[in-house]
Structure 1
Amino acid sequence: MITRVASSAALAVAALAGTGLATPAFAATLTVAADGSAQYRTVQAAINAAPVNSSARTTITIKAGTYREVVRVPANKTAITLQGLGSTPAQTVLVFNNSATTHGTFNSASMFVDGRDFGATNLTISNDYVEKPSTVDQQAVALHLNADRAVFRNVRLLGDQDTLLVNEKSRAYMADSYVEGTVDFIFGGGTMVFERTTTHEKRTAGGPITAASTPATRKYGLLFYKCTVTSAVAGTTQLGRPWRPAGQVLFRESTLTAAIRTSQPWIDMSDNSWRNARFSEYRNTGPGATKNSNRPQLPDSQAGDHTPQKYLAGTDGWNPR
């Protein structure tokens, strides 16, 4: 059952905050609570009930609690927002524990998002698979993002290796959030801007934050703007390595703590040299923001062409900020 709520200006703004969509004639609201006090007990059941190919936003509110399920937002489920109702993102948790050992990396995600204009706010998406030293493939994706114009605000993404996969179809924006993992925990060929977001390398041995596979024909990949980088152990974290030769990553005006391996923050991946990739920094601060020959700096003359809006605009002028 879908509850139709007549739109007022205030309701439209609340339902569409950060999506870049025009105000619809109505908003659809679905409710989820594991204890049976709402319309649906699972997040997936609410997604299944949402309208297909809709230009109007469907907001799915989720009561605080832990929802152990694999969540899929298919391509025909458009303009869906998942909104946690807890007082913090940690109180509403969507979690599962598949891994590459049984499902392959791409199919191991706890959440798959294919529907365009997706949004998530005030919740946690997690893969709590525990890495086992005896296994060869330990990747376990929390979020597999394959959607255009996706927006995440005040969310937590938790995992180990390969937490967030940003596929080539993706154009996404994340603000005021937290992403945690171990190796290559933000990876893929899509375009995504992280703003005022903390990335945390939790492995004591450290590792690279990003593994970009940006196509050579695409100008923009991953931008970290006014973000913060932390780690479990100082001096162990790299900013990234190129999954494919032309990977593009920029850390801009961010706080790089003592987490960073300052002498070598970019490293090679297989036969792909980091020096051939499009890796750079711009006006970062903090003890991890030293400069040397292994740390390419974006020239001031190019800074105006590497803003969050330049990354996100595409051909339709999308501006979720």
Structure 2
Amino acid sequence: MTLQCKSPILFFIALLLSSQALFAKVVAYDFVVAQDGSGNFKTVQEAINAVPDFRKRITTIYIKKGVYKEKLVLPGSKQLVKLIGEDVQQTILTYDDFAQKKNQFGEEKGTSGSSSFYIYGDGFTAENITFENSSGPVGQAVAVWVAGDKSAFKNCRFLGFQDTLYTYGKGSRQYYKDCYIEGTVDFIFGSSTALFDECEIFAKKGGYLTAASTPDTTRFGYVFLKCKIKGDAPDNSFYLGRPWRPYAKTVFIKCNLGKIIKPEGWDHWGKESNKQTAFYAEYKSKGPGAAPSKRVSWSHQLRDEEAKTYTIDNIFRGWQPFK
């Protein structure tokens, strides 16, 4: 930057302002992760470990482009951590464990043990990052396991096959804005209250988009708002969901449903009692997969007044993500 100024005073002021702007850029993030050594750390886990336990302010971690093959854990003591990727397509956090893979004792890891990233800390946020389980079509293989309350993701990708995104935290609140989530069987599953806001849900092969296990005491389970449901699976090969546990709740509001969706829409997982306890509903679905008259009789089409209750404030009990 070249500064040209005839007045020494004005020159000094301009120099001071430019220095402040440069300094602001330098201190915009608490930590920078870069594989080439240009940041504070070369691995994401090192940066997470450096966050002070129970810090009451947001700690920002900027992750430069790269494929970071790490099995990550954000402990419960690491609160208000914010990960920001340089580029959602090129900032990739990945690992390749799966349920049947053996640990050092010769025991299967199981679904919960397969995750690439475990998020326990409350107040976690992520932007512009790809979260991946790269093990392929080998059964259950979780990309992200989210237990912490008030977790929010913006412009992130979740890549995998079966059981891609595990919204684990019972009653925890999770928000997904402008995200891309792909998978096959039950690839969005768990017991959390989760809002998917204008996300793209990409279905591969055939199966079930969701497998909620909403507690009976929780008012809202999964809510898909203005999402696009598409994929490369055959026509009529996907259900909107099935109840992993009784009282599962999943609602699609003003979503565009691709031709991959079965006309009946929902499955009761072979248990008749689930038809009485699960709450599966839609409101103003559109697209070739929208077929309200052909849905199973025990599902619901919301009335206008019912749909109005599905606000961020109601769903999250007063929490406003990214504010």
Interval containing the TM-score (normalised by the shorter chain): 0.7 to 0.9
CA-CA distance at 1:38 after TM superposition = 1.0
1:44-193 counterparts in 2 under 5 A? 44-86=45-87, 89-101=88-100, 102-132=108-138, 138-167=139-168, 168-193=170-195
Give the corresponding residue for 1:303: 307
Partners of 1:41 and 1:76 lie apart in 2 by: 22
Deviates more, 1:28-37 or 1:77-86: 28-37
CA-CA distance at 1:258 after TM superposition = 1.2
CA-CA distance at 1:36 after TM superposition = 1.5
Which residues of structure 1 form unaligned runs of 5+? Answer: 1-7, 15-25, 133-137
2:257 aligned with 1:253, yes or no? no
Give the corresponding residue for 1:266: 266
CA RMSD of aligned residues (A): 2.0
TM-score where L is the length of structure 1: 0.85
Give the corresponding residue for 1:135: none
Question: Which string of whole-angstrom CA distances, capped at 9 and with x for unpartnered residues, describes residues 19-42 of structure 1?
Answer: xxxxxxx98610101122211010
Give the corresponding residue for 2:222: 222
AA at the equivalent of 1:180 = E
Partners of 1:130 and 1:254 lie apart in 2 by: 28
Question: Which string of whole-angstrom CA distances, capped at 9 and with x for unpartnered residues, describes residues 51-79 of structure 1?
Answer: 11112111100110100001111100001
Question: Is the CA contact 1:32–1:38 (under 8 Å) kept in the aligned structure 2?
Answer: yes
Question: Is the CA contact 2:84–2:127 (under 8 Å) kept in the aligned structure 1?
Answer: yes
CA-CA distance at 1:303 after TM superposition = 1.5
CA-CA distance at 1:309 after TM superposition = 2.7
AA at the equivalent of 2:186 = D
Partners of 2:275 and 2:117 lie apart in 1 by: 30
Secondary structure at 1:46 match in 2: helix
Secondary structure at 1:105 match in 2: helix
Give the corresponding residue for 2:18: none
Bigger Rg, which one = 2
Percent identity of paired positions between Structure 1 and Structure 2: 38
Partners of 2:258 and 2:179 lie apart in 1 by: 17
AA at the equivalent of 1:199 = I
For the structure 1 residues 274 and 124, does the alpha-carbon distance in structure 2 shift closer, same or farther, using more than 3 Å as the test? Answer: farther
Question: Which string of whole-angstrom CA distances, capped at 9 and with x for unpartnered residues, describes residues 181-232 of structure 1?
Answer: 00000001110100010111111xx111000000111111100001010121
TM-score where L is the length of structure 2: 0.85
Secondary structure at 1:48 match in 2: helix
Partners of 1:68 and 1:144 lie apart in 2 by: 16
Partners of 1:95 and 1:165 lie apart in 2 by: 15
AA at the equivalent of 1:196 = E
Partners of 2:211 and 2:122 lie apart in 1 by: 24
CA-CA distance at 1:274 after TM superposition = 4.2
Give the corresponding residue for 1:4: none
AA at the equivalent of 2:224 = F
